[in-house]
Every structure is written in C-alpha cells, then in structure tokens.
A and B are shown apart, each in its own frame.
Chain A
Amino acid sequence: MSLQTTETVGHVPESCDLTLVEAVNLALARAMTEDPDVVLLGEDIGLNGGVFRATQGLQQQFGRERVMDTPLAEALIAGTAIGMATQGLKPVAEIQFMGFIFPAMEQLVTHAARLRNRTRGRLHCPLVIRAPFGGGIHAPEHHSESTEALFAHIPGLRVVIPSSPRRAYGLLLSAIDNPDPVIFLEPKRLYRALKQPLSDDGARLPLDTVFILREGHDMTLVSWGACIQETLAAAQELEQRGISAEVIDVATVSPLDMDSIRASVEKTGRCVIIHEAARSGGIGADISARLSEQSLDLLQAPVIRVTGFDTPMPYFRQELLYLPQVADIVAAADQCMSYR
C-alpha cells in the first residue's frame, strides 16, 4: 500500500505555514497534550529549546518533569529512555546531532530493538529517538553524516525520515504512538528550507508505507530525506524534456515498503535511487538488490543509484560535491532512459 499525497494541501481551517522544525515542535506539543506518559529528554532541550529549537517552549508549557535536560551523555540518554519505556512512559529523546548517536548505539541495538523479542512480548520499548541528520548546512565536522542504514540493519527498530513539514508532523505523531522503538531522523537541511500550510489536527501518517509525491510512467525516482527536494526538482526538469518521472518518498526506510516501490517500478520499468548516505551497504543497495531478485523481468534498464561516496563526509566547503544535486539525478535518469 502506498499513500499518494500532494505537496500542497487545499484550504485547511486554522492552518498556518510552518517549517519542518516547527512541525516537529507542534507534533511534540500535541503528543504531550494527548498523553501524559509522553516525556522528552535530551541535551539543551529545556529552556534553550534544543539547538535547532525543536523543543522550544515545551518545558515552559509542560514543566521540568516532562521536558528534561540530561547530562551530556548519549549512551545514558538512550539507556534512560529504555528504562523509562519499560515502566510505561513514552520517552521521546533527542540526540543533538546524528553524528553523536554512536555512544547510544549499543543501547539501541542490544536493548531497545530486541526487548520485546527476547522477553517474548512481556516487556516492550515504546520510545522515539529524534536526531537531526544529513549535510548541507555548512556544519562542523561530524555534524553532517547520513547513517540511517546502520539502524535500518537492526531488526526491531523502525527508521523514519520525514521530508516535509506535513510528513514530519504526521509521522512523528505516529512514531510516538508506536509501541516499538523508532529512530526518527530529521533532515536538518530542510528544517527551515520550506514552509507548508499545516493545521494541528492530530492527523497521523502511516509508518508502513512510502509516499508517492508525483505520478509518472517513464521511470521511478526513489529517495528520502532532504534529497527529496533535488529529486522533485529533477523530475520537474525531466518533465520539461518529455520524461515522466514518478517520485517516491520512502519515508520509513525500515521496515521497507518494498511492495509499493516494486509496483511503481513494474509500471515504469526503470528506477533511479537517490540518497546522500555513503554508497556501499546503503538502503539504495538493498532496494536495488530486491528489485533484481523479484522484478528483473520487468526492468528495462539496470537500477541506478545516485549517492554520496564511500568517504567521510567532506568538510563543508566541499559538501555539495558529495551531496547529490539536481544535475546528477537528471544525468542518471538520462542514462537509465537511454539504456537498451
């Protein structure tokens, strides 16, 4: 099942234009209002409102017991969230940047992901780890990586990546509702890059499906996170040249809604996957492998990936060389179309 959506919504009463980071803030406030068990913890999230202001005003609104500044210790933040979750709270923890999530990795992999499985369902772990990720904002070293594939490889975790304010709002509410651990990665390049009309109606978006942002019949462009912007722009450019590209925002990269991707590629026969994470062992590789396993007959061209490289993310002066740009996607699309 895939969900079709448009990037603009019609007239929604009492809606206002919000950025992605404002949508995150709105969803957090909504979840905390709806459910007293939802608590927030993380570094600088209290009075300071988080370094990106995602939690701005929430401590003032909900109190210090529910919006907790933690000591500077990421393993502890994850471990504490797990302990809280086992006792019935629904913690939403912020890791300040995804580049600093690695001390928390052990807790997420060895505990959060498998608590339900190893206790045969008697304990579970309803927590959300939010982390800004990805490049493109000229941040210092270690602040720009995209390592979603590391988490997607771990059974028991969900990895969710919004790419618009509306999806940030609806997907975050679903992530908090979800009784299992969710890694919620926020593309920080998009935090303030675009606004969408959004009403605080509490409407959830599903975590088990991709979003078809644009219909097309010549090829399928599959992406997620901030790269969706370049992918949509590339689709626009291709259209002007008579190539009709379907654009899929994967959104939940694990577990992966492969049925919808396959259905689209079986329709178009061609697929280009775009992600800014390193190339090898990435989610693009997995999608490509599964298309070749299950849809080879229907493919009219090899699946092509436009990705970052297997290098450290360069320092910001050269980060655009690493990040897929519109021209790179268009070139890959041309290559895909011209294959015979």
Chain B
Amino acid sequence: MAQIPVFDPGAMTQYLGCDGVPVRDVPLWAHDVEPLLRAYEWMMLTRMFDQKAVALQRTGQLGTFPSSVGQEAIGVACGLALEAQDVFVPYYRDHATQLIRGAAMQDLLLYWGGDERGSYAGPAQDLPVCVPIATQCGHAVGAAAALKIRHQPQAVLCTLGDGATSKGDFSEALNLAGTWHLPVVFVINNNQWAISVPRAAQCGAPTLAQKGWGAGIHSVQADGNDIIAMLEVVNEALDRARHRKGPTLIEAISYRLGDHTTADDASRYRAADDVQAAWEREPLLRLRRFLTSQGAWSEAMDARWQEHCQALISKAVEQYLATPPQAAEAMFDHLYAEWPAALDEQLDLFAARMAVREV
C-alpha cells in the first residue's frame, strides 16, 4: 500500500543563534543594520509597553491584559513587513503590529481598560482585536477574497496562536485560502502554550505548519525569536500574496514568557526551569547581541532608547487615564446605522433606570 509522503517543512528558517551569532549567512538585506535597528526599537517599545500594561492591571488601572513578552519579533516582523494598504487581521496578542500600523498606545490601553473607543486602532481597513479564538481566520479569507474580486494588489495578514490551530475555523479558512488561491498569509504565534495546555497536548502532528500542507498551501516554520528569520519569511509570504502566487502559512516558534493574561498564573502548570531556559532564547537579547557584535548598538544607546520609550509610554498612560468616560447612553450608540424606532422603549427604560440610581 502506497504511503502518502510525510510532510517535510525542511529546516526551520533561522539565522541568529541564541548568542546572537549567525548560524548561517544572513540574507543580503540584513547586511544593512538599519532595518534591524528599527526592528529592535519597536521590539523594545513593545516589551516596555507590555510591562507597563501589566503594571497598570496589577494596580487596578487596567482590565485583563495579554502580554506578548518574548514574542516581540513575530509582531514586529509582521508590522514592518506589512504595507499601509494591506489588511491586518489580528488576534489579541498583537500590540507590536498594531503599534507599527499606527495604533495609539492610549487606544490599546483604552480597549484593555474596558472602553469600546479603543477597540479599533490603526488603518481603516484593518480589523479590530479578535477575542473568540480563530474566528478571525474566516474574516481574513473574506478580506482576501474581496481584494481578489476587486483586482486590488494588496495582501491580508492574519495572526493566531497555537491553540487556534485546533479550531475548525482555522482549518476551514486554510481550506478556502488554498482552494481560492487567496492573497493571504497566516502567521501562527506558536508560543507553546494555550493557557495551560502545552503544544504537545494540542496536536499530534510534529509541526503546526504541516496543517497548511493538507490545504494545499505553501507552509513554512521559522524561529519566531529570530527577527531576521521572521522578517525574511513574512516579507517573502506577503510578496507571494501580492504577486498572486498563493497563500502562505507560517509557524513561528516562540515561547510565552509571561502568563496567558494577567488573569492567569502560569506557575500552576509549568516549571520555572523551563521558563528560565526560554529566557535564553528570547528575541531582544538575541538581536541586541547581534547588533552589538556589528558595532551598531551599545549599552548607552540602549539606555537612551529605553528612556525615550519610557517617555512615550508615560505620555500615553497619562492620556489614557485622563480619558473622560463615554456618555451613559453610549452602549446604544452604533448599534445599527440608523436607530430603529422599535428600540425607543429601551432608551426610556434606561433613562428611568438612571433616574432611580440618581435618587
């Protein structure tokens, strides 16, 4: 009986070792340190933003927040590879990409601070944060189909976590992307943990990338903590999409150094040693070592950049905390394009409730 050939994703794309020393020749574009310096700056800003957001939550000034600590290279690579007119379809651990695409930090804080006004930040065509797992994958193929139908040259990039690959929505979207040859790129942030469930308990296949193979999609694995590898594969995938060469699935291997969210306590289900070991592979340290070895970065530059980030973040936090609340009736706003007279009764009920509470 003939055996269906085993999926071979080839070697995971990787350029930088954990020590910042290239494990093979870096791509030509990476000989110029400028794009890598920009990437490092965004990665640092993202990490400091994450730290501040967690601190705000711990002090009761923000709601539940999902830190992206340790996965900054994935989000920054997506943000830098996307062009302004492309469509970004995020999940909820994508602050880096959102920031690069122009989202204001105070808006991101507003969203996680429980205010709808922050839920939509960035270019007009981008989708907002998506909380129900993997449901954004359907939107991504829909947006890509719209681009294709209208013969527009842009691409769609959709992010998801490793847990999302277990959902039907992901498989259904991959299937359509392959069938309709859509200009879409899926990037899995495989941070090894879906809350408390480790990657090995999520899926029996050796890679998540091979799920794309079953849908007839070009699929690759990359070191998600290596910014050079991530920029290389995301740029290549978006280029394929823009030139109508088909969709791509990227499995970015990383590690969730923080808790799932601030509502989680990862020490309940994973060993401190494993987390400690993962800190050795984290993306900022790796890139900093590389840039330093190239003579392009120094401790003094790092301190100056951190100071700059701190100032930006402090200003954003100030604006966030000073944002006046929405009007009491705001929940009724934007429910429909035109307010249905049928719902007038509810405005009356609401007014009556407010009157009772004011007594």
Does A122 sit at the interface, judged by CB under 8 A?
A: yes
Task: Identify which of residues 321-345 in chain B touch chain A, using a CB-to-CB cut-off of 8 Å.
Answer: 331, 333-337, 340-343, 345
Partner of B127, one of A81, A86, A156: A86
- The range of chain A's interface size is 35 or more
Point out residues on B near A: beta carbons under 8 Å. 87, 89, 116-117, 119-120, 124-125, 127-128, 130-132, 135, 137-150, 168-169, 172-173, 175-176, 179, 331, 333-337, 340-343, 345
User: Cβ of B138 and Cβ of A78 under 8 Å apart?
Assistant: yes
B120 to chain A, nearest CB (A): 4
Point out residues on A near B: beta carbons under 8 Å. 39, 65-66, 68, 70-71, 73, 75-76, 78-89, 91, 103, 106-107, 110-111, 115-124, 155-156, 158, 178-180, 208, 255-259
User: Cβ of B337 and Cβ of A75 under 8 Å apart?
Assistant: no
User: Cβ of B120 and Cβ of A103 under 8 Å apart?
Assistant: no
Partner of A39, one of B87, B149, B333: B149
User: Cβ of A71 and Cβ of B176 under 8 Å apart?
Assistant: yes
Partner of B116, one of A65, A81, A118: A118
A58 to chain B, nearest CB (A): 15
Return chain B residues, CB-CB under 8 Å to A122: 120, 124
Of the A-B pairs whose beta carbons lie under 8 Å apart in the complex, a sample of 13, sorted by A's number, is A70-B176, A71-B179, A75-B138, A83-B139, A84-B146, A86-B125, A119-B119, A120-B119, A121-B334, A155-B335, A179-B337, A208-B342, A258-B345
Partner of B149, one of A82, A89, A179, A259: A89
B132 to chain A, nearest CB (A): 5
User: Cβ of A82 and Cβ of B138 under 8 Å apart?
Assistant: yes
User: Cβ of A71 and Cβ of B146 under 8 Å apart?
Assistant: no
User: Cβ of A116 and Cβ of B336 under 8 Å apart?
Assistant: yes
Return chain A residues, CB-CB under 8 Å to B145: 68, 80, 83-84
B334 to chain A, nearest CB (A): 4
Partner of A117, one of B116, B131, B173: B116
User: Cβ of A110 and Cβ of B142 under 8 Å apart?
Assistant: no
Residue of A nearest to B118 (CB): A120
Residue of A nearest to B152 (CB): A87
Residue of A nearest to B87 (CB): A87
Task: List 12 additional contacts besides A83-B139, A120-B116; criterion CB under 8 Å.
Answer: A66-B149, A75-B138, A75-B168, A89-B146, A89-B149, A106-B135, A110-B131, A110-B132, A110-B135, A118-B116, A123-B128, A255-B340
B104 to chain A, nearest CB (A): 14
Residue of A nearest to B334 (CB): A121
Bound-state Cα–Cα, A219 to B343, Å: 26
User: Cβ of A76 and Cβ of B141 under 8 Å apart?
Assistant: yes
User: Cβ of B169 and Cβ of A75 under 8 Å apart?
Assistant: yes
A86-B143 contact in complex given A76-B138, A208-B341, C-beta closer than 8 Å: yes
User: Cβ of A117 and Cβ of B168 under 8 Å apart?
Assistant: no
Residue of B nearest to A123 (CB): B120
Residue of A nearest to B158 (CB): A83
Return chain B residues, CB-CB under 8 Å to A124: 337
Return chain B residues, CB-CB under 8 Å to A155: 335
Residue of A nearest to B149 (CB): A65
